A and B are shown apart, each in its own frame.
Chain A
Amino acid sequence: MRKVLMIAGLILLLATGLYFGLRSFHAKWSGVDETVVEKFAEQAGRPPREPLINTDQGDLLLFFFLVAGAVGGFVGGYYFRELFPPKGNVDTPVRGVPRGDNGADRSVRVTSRGDS
């Protein structure tokens, strides 16, 4: 219950902060590639060209970004669990770490080629 209240409080805090923050700032929030890189390039007479695969069409770019985020998150999470297994699960094997030595181990060894 305490955790639920804490998460709800954080979401409320975030929403309130964003509401007042965005109302008080009249900024476009453009990326610096637009405000800096492309600005100087256009001044120099070299405006950017369309990308080879232009996914910047409607919601297509948002779709690709979300897919990329999901895939990246999955890959990161997979390797994270391999390197930092849950502390309670002492029998989870970790490559290069002696069995049953998960959690706060200090015994990761460097093995040279041919060592078992």
Chain B
Amino acid sequence: MIAFLKTRSLAQSRSRRRKEADARATAPDIRLLTSAATSSKPLLLAAVLLAVAFPFPASAMHISEGILPAPWAGLWYVVALPFLAWGLRDLRVRSHQTPFFKPMVGLMGAAVFIISCLPIPVPTAGTCSHPCGTGMAAILIGPPLTVVITSIALLLQALFLAHGGLTTLGADIVSMGIAGAFVGYGVFRMTRWLGAPAVVAAFLAGMLSDWATYAVTSFELATALHGSGSMAAMFAAIAAAFLPTQLPLGIVEGFVTAGAWRFIESRRPGLIECLTHPHGGHA
């Protein structure tokens, strides 16, 4: 009888230990799955709602055809071209280093194209404008490549969506692609260097890249159109006119960028580690 009880107790103890070991082994997966599911659902729902609710032509930072005089339009093309060449070289080099890099570039390209087509009504101003998505792209694939995908998105919009223009494409690339991407990336790296959490850095990168885009658009317009008046006064007037719409929209873009970062961090942290790794990082 005693032997039977001992054997039973031993079996129960073994069974309990096995269950505890199983629970320990699966706990991290469950935690990760739960966090990924809870973080991705609101993001996806928000994306679907935005896409369904606002399927109308976007109108925002794009400078329309014919607004800039030819010398200024040419100058902005000259400024944009070296960055485009840098981005194309970066794509070739990093595609060999990181196998999944091209899918990430494709995803970011589609995201920037859709985000920059998405007008968001801003009740405080009674107008619509769109986020840019360049801050998010810059912190994930680097600023030079963000210039490339932004250029493609802007070219398609100028050709088929009556949005922007071919003569003003250089200026639009400089404001949205170059300024948005480099400011977003710079802010992200600086904030991380100061010790802030990555999500906070992503929020600031998204927000400031949006504001930088519109600040540079104001500068481009002011330099070309101030005539005999003061350029600084015209810049201030245009920037102030953008402010009621872009101030809240920049904050929204900050949250979108932080949400995207949080999603990748919880679902595929390896991707972020790899993209920000010194050897696989931005060139």
Residue numbers of A with Cβ under 8 A of B are 10, 14, 18, 21, 25-41, 44, 46-56, 61-62, 64-66, 68-69, 72-73, 75-76, 78-80, 82-84, 87, 94-97, 103-113
Contacts and interface: CB of A to CB of B under 8 A. Distances in A.
B97 interface: yes
A72 B270 CA distance: 26
Contacts of B162: 51, 53-56, 61
Contacts of A109: 274
Contacts of B151: none
A37 to B, nearest CB: 6
Contact of B65 (A34, A52, A103, A110): A52
A61 B129 contact: no
A15 B275 CA distance: 41
B174 interface: no
Interface string B32-46: 110010000000010
Contacts, number: 219
B134 interface: no
Contacts of A78: 106
B11 interface: no
Contact of B110 (A64, A72, A110): A72
11 contacts: A35-B241, A37-B61, A37-B217, A44-B227, A51-B162, A61-B162, A62-B55, A75-B109, A96-B99, A103-B32, A103-B267
Nearest to B123: A25
